[in-house]
Amino acid sequence: MILIPFQINENEYNIFCALQIDNLERIQKYDPAQIQPHKLGKEWDALKLNTVLIGFANNRDLQRVQAWVAAGQPDEALKYLSRGFEFKPEQGDHDGMYGSVKS
């Protein structure tokens, strides 16, 4: 699992979480993945977490992403990781409040 935090305005940031094959295998065995924002470092502590985006990265993707981030181009890495992003309200995507499992 790789995490790419990125600031979206002066007060907030988002995190892109790219799961890899081994993460998915563990999750299928009911071993949940965790994101602990305090482990991102002090530079993020003063900002409010807005959104966590969850995607996928294979080994080739990871190499590309690491190269862009190392070159100071995290925006290119984020665009690449979200290249298949689609909004499909007819399949349940929505901008409304999340449902609850409570009765």
24-61 tens-digit pLDDT: 999 999 999 999 999 999 999 999 999 999 999 999 99
Whether residue 93 has pLDDT greater than 80: no
At 48 the pLDDT is 97
Whether residue 66 has pLDDT greater than 70: yes
At 95 the pLDDT is 72
Looking up tokens 């190392």, which residue turns up? 70
Whether residue 99 has pLDDT greater than 90: no
> Which pTM was predicted?
0.82
Per-domain boundaries in the chain: 2-84
Choose among 58, 45, 42, 47: nearest CA to 10: 47
